[in-house]
Structures are given as structure tokens and as C-alpha cells.
Amino acid sequence: MAKIVLEAKNINKSYSNGENHLTVLENFSLSVFEGDIVTIMGQSGSGKSTALNILGTLDFPNSGSLKIGEKEIHTLNEKKISSIRNKEIGFVFQFHHLLTEFSAFENALMPAWIAGYNKQDYATELFERMGLIDRMTHLPNQLSGGERSRVAVIRALINSPKILLADEPTGNLDEKNAEKLIHLLSEISRDLNQSIILTTHNPSVAKFGNKKYELENRSLIKIP
């Protein structure tokens, strides 16, 4: 029986600025199991990034609970949360956020270095798997958009996280490279039993999820 790797219950998030009050999420609940690919579709401004930031412990809800593995996040101090964020969660962002002065290989190893892990052999395996073995020493500006996206995926996977969070990962890619990346994420989920939550505004990307949702009117709606 598949283990649950992430569980969010009744997450509410709002922002206040003086008399202005904006509610972004209401009673947002989600359960993710090992090997799940969860897609969350929504238009710009629907709250997808806010939801992903909360699930990734980069932001915190006004109310509700988040559990990663067996750990209740709201019971932990910032040091322990930071450790979970680094070791158990992988992030893939739309703009990659690769460090320009470091090679592709060094960028991919950053989370491992922060955690104190020696992952050079595993990083090399991932570069080979991604078809980037001859691009390891290249700087980000020497890589194509599709290559940078694959380096970002390697970086997200380097610490063998429980869950990978991808925020509009195909947003800056052309159709061909977007399709390649989604197929790659599907292979990773299947081969590594990797859980993935992916946000998108693109219905053709959302269809790759074995669990599909839409974020509309601040709430999460399951798509059959």
C-alpha cells in the first residue's frame, strides 16, 4: 500500500494591507501518495504559487495543517523546517533560478552541499539519465532553455526528496521542450516512485497527472 508523503488539511491563506483584505486559499486540502503525479490547474492569480509555497514550507497558512511524511510542520521550529525543506522537498521553478557563476554540475549539487551530502556520483547518474553528460561543466548561459530546465530537475532530485514541487515548469519553454519535460517528469515518477505536484495553466500539461485538480474561487476542485 502506497505511503502518504504529504497531507494538507483545510489550509486558509489571506493577506491584509491596512483595510484591504485578500483571501487567496479557502479550505485547501490535498493528500499525496508515493508515486502520485498531482496537477493543479488554474489561471494566473488563482493562488497556485501561494499553494505550492505553503506545501513547500516557503510560506505558512493562517490556519489549517500540513504534514510531510510523519512530521506536522506547525509543531516544528524554523531550523527543523529548513532541514525538511532541503532534504525532503525538491523545487522546480518556472525561471529555474540557476546560479550564473556556477556550472550545471555545481548548480545541481547545491542542495546536497547545503545538507552535507556527497552526491557527486548520483549527480553524474542523473546528468547521464537526462542526456546532459556532456553539458555538466557548462555555465547556465551556455545552455538552452530545455537544458536549463533539466538541470533544475536534477537539482530538485539530488537529495532524493519525498516530494517534488514544480511551479509552472513549462511556462518558459516552447511546445516541443515543454512536452519533453513533462514526459521526463512522468518517467521520473514511474522509475523512482517520485511524488510530484505540478501547477500549470495549460490543460495539455495538466492531463499528465494521475490526480488532477483545478484551483478556482480559492478552492481546490478535483477533475475526473
**3-class SS letters over 190-206:** HHHCCEEEEEECCHHHH
Cβ atoms of 153 and 125 within 8 Å: the answer is no
| pLDDT beyond 80 at 171 | no
- Hey, is 148 helix, strand or coil? helix
Integer CA distances (angstroms), 213 to 32, 41, 50, 199, in order: 12, 6, 15, 9
Query: May I ask the CATH architecture of the domain 33-46+75-223?
Result: 3-Layer(aba) Sandwich (3.40)
Cβ atoms of 90 and 159 within 8 Å: the answer is yes
Cβ atoms of 37 and 199 within 8 Å: the answer is no
Q: What is the mean pLDDT of residues 22-27?
A: 90
In this predicted structure, what is the pLDDT of residue 45? 77
Using a pLDDT cut of 70, give the percent of the chain over it: 100
| pLDDT beyond 80 at 96 | no
Sketch the domain layout of the chain as residue ranges. Answer: 33-46+75-223
The pLDDT tens digits of the residues spanning 109-132 come to: 998 998 888 999 999 999 998 889
Residue carrying C-alpha cell 511551479: 167
Sign of the CA dihedral 47, 187, 83, 1? positive
pTM reported for the whole predicted model:
0.87
